[in-house]
A = this chain, B = another copy of it.
Amino acid sequence: MATQSLVDIRTFSPKFQHLYATLKDFVENDCMPAEKVFEAQLGQGENRWKVVPPIMEELKTKARSLGLWNLFLTKEYPEGAGLSNLEYALMAEVMGRSLHIASEACNCSAPDTGNMEVFAKYGTPAQKEKWLKPLLDGKIRSAFAMTEKKVASSDATNIETSIQRVGNEYVINGLKWWISGAGDPRCAVYLVMGKSDPKNKEKHRQQSLIIVPADTPGITVVRPMTVFGYDDAPEGHCEILFKDVRVPVENMVLGEGRGFEVIQGRLGPGRIHHCMRCIGVAERALDLLLARVTDPSRRTFGKLLAEHGTVVADIAKSRMDIDQARFLVLNAAKRIDEVKAKGAMKEIGMAKAVVPTMLLTVLDRAMQAHGAGGVSQDFILARSYAQARTLRYADGPDEVHIAQIGKVELRRAAEVTKSLEKQRERSYALITGKAKL
């Protein structure tokens, strides 16, 4: 992070400063060089879904030994690293610099993070023992099965998957898609959102969230979805059919009809984690842009790219865009520390509405300077673009966040109107001499 006076790392605890420096070093010297290694080790054809590049597990071992582990579980979780949200925001930015490697290496990658939060917050001791422990240890991975193909599931009340109690079991039927991580051979468990009480008059009490082991009979992984051509193997984003899938009643999370409550609790910090990492991606894109436009082998018409005024302007705008967006994210993180995610919904929403679009803009500028290379597998730019693009609708599309921010602002309207009225009256009184300063 460029020096920022408002959030100056030199004012943080020595312990945090040390951890931050350790992470920077790890990301720079291990994760970033590991990216091409990971690609080289990835399987071909069907093996893309069977092979986890060994470098990843090596990185995890190293990260854990460095204390760079489960950083996302902030202070309120005894299982975590004890960071504040603001501190984690700063760490997540650093991890974002090696987006496809560092988060997983530090056991801080979605959807596991959100799922671990769910288990930690709402799990029974047995659920925690069975699922949270191996997740915290990085032994297994998990998926969150919410989005459905046939409905607009950005409005979660539209979800149609049924979770029906039959005796001591719940029977699950439904078609989900975009279930991230479900392609991974290490993915052992799904958290499945469905309707257990579709006729409940309270629309937000119809849903339940249930734990489904990945090897339960009745589950078919139909196909991996692609994001701009990327399948993101081995994790993938899968279309999954649940047909008469049965799990014991103990697998219910928190209780029937409380699915909405759980996902609300899950979403807040998760949204901001993406934003935090995005800042790091943007900084890396800007770095790549700087390197490219000063590359002496890339002269055109007798000039370095960096000698063209429009290129310099692109660089400056990127710096300004990134710095502004970072403040929004850090502010939201600090606000979560102060008043929890629920109280910080506006600040979180603002970060969520601003950051992905900012990142896309910065990536696009960097791509343009790279020409054909920029859209290819030789740089992280196009792949990051594809991933960032999904953040404009994932966890709520931009439009929804923007509408909510607008509504929150509009709550001030009555008070503002009253104060304008008062000013008008006083103004009139001053002009007519009926009042004095």
Contact = CB atoms under 8 A, between A and B. Distances in A.
Interface residues of A, number: 127
Interface in A20-70: 28-30, 32-37, 40, 44-45, 55, 58-59, 62
A235 to B, nearest CB: 14
Nearest to A224: B377
Given A151-B298, A300-B152, A316-B406, A413 B306 contact: yes
A372 interface: yes
A17 interface: no
A329 to B, nearest CB: 10
B406 A313 contact: yes
Main secondary structure of the interface of A (DSSP, over half): helix
A367 B353 contact: no
A226 B228 CA distance: 11
Interface in A358-406: 367-368, 371-372, 374-378, 382-383, 385-386, 389-390, 392-394, 397-406
A301 B423 contact: no
A202 interface: no
Contacts of A308: 309, 399
Interface in A322-341: 323-325, 327-328, 330-332, 334-335, 337-338
Given A7-B6, A350-B319, A417-B291, A29 B405 contact: no
Given A5-B335, A227-B375, A228-B230, 18 more contacts: A5-B331, A5-B332, A5-B334, A32-B423, A177-B372, A225-B377, A226-B377, A290-B417, A293-B413, A294-B414, A295-B417, A309-B403, A313-B406, A320-B328, A320-B405, A324-B328, A371-B397, A374-B393
A409 to B, nearest CB: 5
A356 to B, nearest CB: 11
A101 to B, nearest CB: 11
Interface string A400-430: 1111111101101110110110011011011
A230 B316 CA distance: 31
